[in-house]
Amino acid sequence: MLMSDAITSQSAPIETARTSVIVIVALLYLAALVGISIWASRRTRTAEDFFVAGKGIGLFALTVASVSTTVSGFAFIGGPGLFYSVGLGALYIVLSASVTNVMGAWVLAKRMRLLGEVRPMLTVPDAIGARYDSRAAQGLSAIAILVGVIGYMATNALAMGVVLQAIFGVQLTHGVWIGMGITIAYSMAGGILAGIYNDVLQGALMAVASILVFVVVLQLGHGIGGHSRAILAVDPAFLSPFGKMTPLAALSLFFVFTIGSLGQPAQLHKYYMLRDPRQLRWYPLLKTVGLIVVLLLYFGVGLSVKALVSGGQLAPLAKPDDATPAFLLHFTPTLLAALVFSGVAAATMSITNSFMNIGAAAITHDLPLALGITVRNKLLVGRIATLVISLLAIALASLSRTTIAFLAIFGYGLFASTLVPSLAIGLNWRGATRAGAIASICTGLSVTLVCETLVFFKLLTMPVGVSIAGLSLLASLLIFFVTSWVTRHSAAATLADDIRVVMDV
């Protein structure tokens, strides 16, 4: 036994006083979010305010908000759950965090921020439309984003449900509705400005909470080594380099989450908001450090819960997604548990808010532009669109039979396969063509949806180690290059002079 009896005794049923403290802190936290949203709604007057925060966000706010939206419910609930079930292989999702931010800064951040200098940019499909001078490419990327947004929002709605279920003891479905209801309210009121400043509060809170939780993890195991010894005694494969996954499956996660990071609209969209492009200098370093601090919870809780179960201090979990709630409720001080629960709920709301905003922009801005329709009151239509896509996400979260982690991989993979070739490669390669972009977006969308549907209805079984997201990303990349090569004569014609300058610097 590695843990003391005193710590083991905390595994007893949670007392009412402890639950009350958690509920009070959660309510205070939600009140703070409402306050920020009311303040933001008074500063939101135009569509540019609603969608890109009037391009007035500073480096610190952008960095913390970006960390907050990157981690989401997936990293706090789904990630530790996946770690608990498959071991070290689950880390391959976040393993490239120290590389992806700087890669994104070189490949996309500068160019997208500079696009905002030469053209009025509100959305990620705006950049694709401008790059290829194509409404079709813009409209198709908006459709792909909309599908991915609903999938990703469902992930976070489910994570919110798990957290609220643990805090308030409500049913999972009720937790999903409560969490989404609060997020809808502040998103519809203040748009992205409310989201950004709520993200700042949430990101800062999560960084502090992650460090404190990691300290608890270290205390429980007398260092990481104590947890490792407890796990190795029972289940050594858990700590092998690829955990219980096959090497190909773990590497496949690394591939999708590394290259796919260049196609995540919640991150890309934020580049437009930076006040001064020169502030990008310190952005990758600050964001990477922030991200690694916050991911201590992912690693620490996943490792610790497995060790606690291996050592007999915690009963085996009914489902992997219970890992974080079980750890917080049984092994952390009350106030810290309350802080993390609030922060986790807030982080899921934060990313959901970002996606509500992106989805609303696709409906009110990109699709009408592609179809040649004029939307008169974008602000009002944006708020209605937010409500509609939220309801669709709630429906998907309620009907889904999969775990948070796998639902998130679907959303992440869809964004990756539809946006990485056309945007990340296209903004750095003059030889990319409009036909190549359209073909790659269609390929990413169709391969992902067809394969996921066939697998869902058990009409197709993917071999161990092959991910649909990875396959789809490879297919869209290759189609992009082949089609651009076939239509290479048209490459120069679709490149406007101002876009050419943005691509040259």
φ and ψ of 57, to 5 deg: -95, 135
Q: Which of 4, 20, 171, 428: binder of other proteins (CB under 8 A)?
A: 428
Q: Which of 39, 60, 282, 406: binder of other proteins (CB under 8 A)?
A: 282
Part in contact with other proteins (CB under 8 A); list of ranges 22-30, 58-66, 77-85, 107-115: 107-115
Residue 372 lies near other proteins (rule: CB under 8 A)? no
Part in contact with other proteins (CB under 8 A); list of ranges 98-106, 344-352, 375-383, 404-412: 98-106
- Report in angstroms how near the CB of residue 292 gets to other proteins at its nearest: 7
Helices (H) and strands (E) in the chain — how many of each?
A: 23, 0
Residue 5 lies near other proteins (rule: CB under 8 A)? no
Residue 207 lies near other proteins (rule: CB under 8 A)? no
Residue 333 lies near other proteins (rule: CB under 8 A)? no
Q: Which of 12, 318, 373, 464: binder of other proteins (CB under 8 A)?
A: 464
For 326-350, b/e burial (b = at least 16 CB within 10 A) is: bbbbbbbebebbbbbbbbbbbbbbb
User: SS3 string of 161-224?
Assistant: HHHHHHHHCCCHHHHHHHHHHHHHHHHHHHHHHHHHHHHHHHHHHHHHHHHHHHHHHHHHHCCH
Q: Which of 24, 27, 28, 285: binder of other proteins (CB under 8 A)?
A: 285
Closest CA to 202 of 17, 359, 44, 344: 344
> Using CA atoms, how far apart are residues 156 and 276, in angstroms rounded to an integer?
31
> Using CA atoms, how far apart are residues 354 and 351, in angstroms rounded to an integer?
5
- Report in angstroms how near the CB of residue 48 gets to other proteins at its nearest: 16
Report 247-276 residues binding other proteins (CB under 8 A): 247-248, 251-252, 254-255, 258-259, 262
Residue 278 lies near other proteins (rule: CB under 8 A)? yes
- Report in angstroms how near the CB of residue 224 gets to other proteins at its nearest: 3
DSSP, collapsed to helix, strand or coil, labels residue 274 as strand
Residue 102 lies near other proteins (rule: CB under 8 A)? yes
Contact characters 113-142, other proteins, x per CB under 8 A: -x--xxx-----------------------
DSSP assignments along 65-82, one per residue: HHHHHHHHHIIIIIHHHH
Closest CA to 167 of 349, 25, 13: 25
Residue 454 lies near other proteins (rule: CB under 8 A)? no
Residue 319 lies near other proteins (rule: CB under 8 A)? no
Closest CA to 246 of 405, 74, 87: 87
Residue 375 lies near other proteins (rule: CB under 8 A)? no
Secondary structure element (H or E) that encloses residue 315, with its range: none
Smaller CB distance to other proteins: residue 281 or 319? 281
Q: Which of 424, 435, 445, 451: binder of other proteins (CB under 8 A)?
A: 424
Query: Considering CB under 8 A, how many residues would be counted as binding other proteins?
Result: 81
Structure tokens at 371: 């179809």
Smaller CB distance to other proteins: residue 310 or 403? 310
DSSP, collapsed to helix, strand or coil, labels residue 501 as helix
Smaller CB distance to other proteins: residue 95 or 375? 95
Smaller CB distance to other proteins: residue 458 or 489? 489
Distance from CA of residue 49 to its chain's centroid? 22
How many C-alpha atoms does 38 have within 13 Å on its Cβ side?
5
Q: Which of 21, 23, 224, 293: binder of other proteins (CB under 8 A)?
A: 224
| Alpha-helical runs (H) found in 235-322 | 247-259, 265-271, 283-294, 296-310
- Report in angstroms how near the CB of residue 458 gets to other proteins at its nearest: 17
Residue 2 lies near other proteins (rule: CB under 8 A)? no
- Report in angstroms how near the CB of residue 434 gets to other proteins at its nearest: 15
Residue 280 lies near other proteins (rule: CB under 8 A)? yes
Q: Which of 69, 288, 350, 357: binder of other proteins (CB under 8 A)?
A: 288
Q: Do residues 420 and 479 make contact, with C-beta atoms less than 8 angstroms apart? A: no
> Using CA atoms, how far apart are residues 144 and 232, in angstroms rounded to an integer?
44
Sign for the pseudo-dihedral over CA of 469, 474, 479, 480: positive
Structure tokens at 385: 């669109």
Smaller CB distance to other proteins: residue 30 or 259? 259
- Report in angstroms how near the CB of residue 285 gets to other proteins at its nearest: 4
The residues near 328 (Cβ < 8 Å, ≥ 6 apart) are 166, 213, 336, 337, 340, 341
Q: Do residues 41 and 353 make contact, with C-beta atoms less than 8 angstroms apart? A: no
Q: Which of 36, 65, 75, 108: binder of other proteins (CB under 8 A)?
A: 108
Part in contact with other proteins (CB under 8 A); list of ranges 55-63, 264-272, 383-391, 423-431: 423-431
Which residues share a beta bridge with 311? Answer: none
Part in contact with other proteins (CB under 8 A); list of ranges 28-36, 45-53, 110-118, 314-322: 110-118
Residue 37 lies near other proteins (rule: CB under 8 A)? no
Q: Which of 54, 56, 277, 333: binder of other proteins (CB under 8 A)?
A: 277
Report 164-203 residues binding other proteins (CB under 8 A): none
Secondary structure element (H or E) that encloses residue 103, with its range: helix 97-104
Residue 107 lies near other proteins (rule: CB under 8 A)? yes
Residue 437 lies near other proteins (rule: CB under 8 A)? no
Residue 55 lies near other proteins (rule: CB under 8 A)? no
Q: Tell me the residue type at 213.
A: V
Contact characters 227-246, other proteins, x per CB under 8 A: xxx--xx--xx-xxxx---x
